[in-house]
Amino acid sequence: MSNINLDTDPERNPENPETRHAPELAKPGDVSHLSFAEIAAQGHGATRLDPDAPAVLSVDDLKMYFPVKSSGVVRRTIGHVQAVDGISFEVPRGGSLGLVGESGCGKSTTGRLITRLYEPTGGSMHFGEDRVDLAKVSNRAMKPLRRDVQMIFQDPYTSLNPRHTVGSIVGAPLAVHKVVPKDKIKDRVKELLEVVGLNPEHYNRYPNEFSGGQRQRIGIARALTLNPKLLVADEPVSALDVSIQAQVINLLQELQAEMGIAFLFIAHDLAIVRHFCPEVAVMYLGKIVEIADRETIYGSAHHPYTQALLSAVPDVKQAAVGGRRERIRLEGDVPSPINPPSGCRFRTRCHLAQDICAKVEPPLLQIGPRHKVACHFAGELGDAPRTPVTAGLLGVDGQGSPDPSVTPEDIATGPGYEKRWFDVKSRQMVSA
């Protein structure tokens, strides 16, 4: 592996004995005028999609309901927080899937379900060549699988035990799974620290002696100790400034290329997701509303929520020349996941909503070779249809009432893509 240096944190000082021995990057100069993509491209280009790669993880109809208890001596369950409600997707082997959406939409819960930090309410999560269902295996049977499924946590300050040294934090998985002999753990930990750009001599230091960027790299080193096949990265760079974000992303790209690691990359920064993830899934209130390859999501989004998210992304170049992208402003707040709206969950904030949106939940319908969307009025920005495109498929009329004269179609809603899909312009099924 080439020598990647990530230590350009503002806290770093050449005169500081705690950090002066770490490897140095070439001086990046002033990058304040550059976008994230431009900074990241100085190291690696955007990750590319391999459409023929088999799935290392296949999630089908995954659900997570948290019970809501009443107050008092006898605490009854009076409702459920529907944090994740029937999502389906695939993560390709050695590839990356981005999961984006507003805070509270269920992204982090999805990551914790896949790593089995939460017990799912329903659905399946088939992993690896043997297609082991992570949702159904016992805790004892899950232990060996944890070697292959690891997680990078969002907060580098709370995810590291302040009472443990870096050596014990990174070396704990090695000791638990007995991957290397006991007397070789220290050498392996030092090797991993060097891989992520930290000084191996800091083995005995505590987390509070490191900057935020360095702590996040400690978390990455811990996740890499067992050579996992799948890494769930829960906003791994959200606590870092833009230049450090780009360098951490470049590190993850190089590790992915050399070790063949697949990523479920959870984030709210669409610029970072665009660079790292060839495929992107958009979540809203526990549901996936659109999923597609990078070019389709960013250039031809068909769901009004995805279009609103993209309109909010700052554009450095447009600001420099005085241009300004038209912002789509959503009305109202996100509904409560305890009592979500009927039909389409986005309808209470959608300018396209009609009667059918309240009566019938739109399926996650495949509308292109690698494009799915859950919207009755799916269409490109400014070109949405006036009548629901899904009515004929679902056997209902334009208002969402059952139509006896229309035979419903059998719509595939599972993970992955079919060779036939529904063309929203012609409103007919087409084949590749």
Q: Tell me the domain boundaries of the chain.
A: 1-30+161-220, 299-431
Give residue 36's pLDDT band: very low, low, confident or very high (50, 70, 90).
low
Instruction: For 226-241, write each residue's pLDDT tens digit.
Output: 889 999 999 888 767 7
Integer angstrom CA distances of residue 228 from 41, 94, 222, 381, 407: 26, 11, 11, 40, 47
Average pLDDT over residues 162-172: 92
pLDDT given at position 269: 83
pLDDT given at position 27: 41
Dihedral sign of CA atoms 11, 15, 19, 24 in order? positive
Task: For residues 6 and 243, give the distance between their C-alpha atoms in angstroms, rounded to a whole number.
Answer: 9
- Asked if 166 contacts 203 with a C-beta cutoff of 8 angstroms, the reply is yes
pLDDT given at position 318: 52
pLDDT given at position 17: 40
pLDDT given at position 227: 87
Instruction: For 339-377, write each residue's pLDDT tens digit.
Output: 999 999 999 999 999 999 999 999 999 999 999 999 999
Our CA dihedral for 340, 344, 347, 353, rounded to 10 degrees, sits at: -160
- Asked if 109 contacts 64 with a C-beta cutoff of 8 angstroms, the reply is yes
Of 287 and 334, the structure prediction assigns the larger pLDDT to: 287
Cα 305-390-104 angle, rounded to 5 deg: 30
pLDDT above 80 (res 93): yes
Average pLDDT over residues 132-150: 90
Task: For residues 49 and 95, give the distance between their C-alpha atoms in angstroms, rounded to a whole number.
Answer: 7
Closest listed residue to residue 21, CA positions, set 199, 183, 181: 199
- Asked if 353 contacts 344 with a C-beta cutoff of 8 angstroms, the reply is yes
CATH number of the domain located at residue range(s) 1-30+161-220 in this protein: 3.40.50.300
Beta strands in 339-414 (DSSP E): 365-368, 371-373
Average pLDDT over residues 21-36: 45
Beta strands in 346-394 (DSSP E): 365-368, 371-373
Q: Where are the alpha helices (DSSP H) in 212-366?
A: 212-224, 242-259, 270-276, 294-299, 304-311, 316-320, 355-359
pTM of the complete model: 0.84
Distance between start and end Cα atoms, the chain: 40
In the predicted model, what is the mean pLDDT of the chain? 84
Dihedral sign of CA atoms 290, 294, 300, 306 in order? positive
Give residue 14's pLDDT band: very low, low, confident or very high (50, 70, 90).
very low
- Asked if 97 contacts 155 with a C-beta cutoff of 8 angstroms, the reply is no
Instruction: For 368-409, write each residue's pLDDT tens digit.
Output: 999 999 999 999 988 899 999 999 899 999 899 998 888 888
Task: For residues 214 and 24, give the distance between their C-alpha atoms in angstroms, rounded to a whole number.
Answer: 14
The residue assigned the tokens 């309240």 is 358
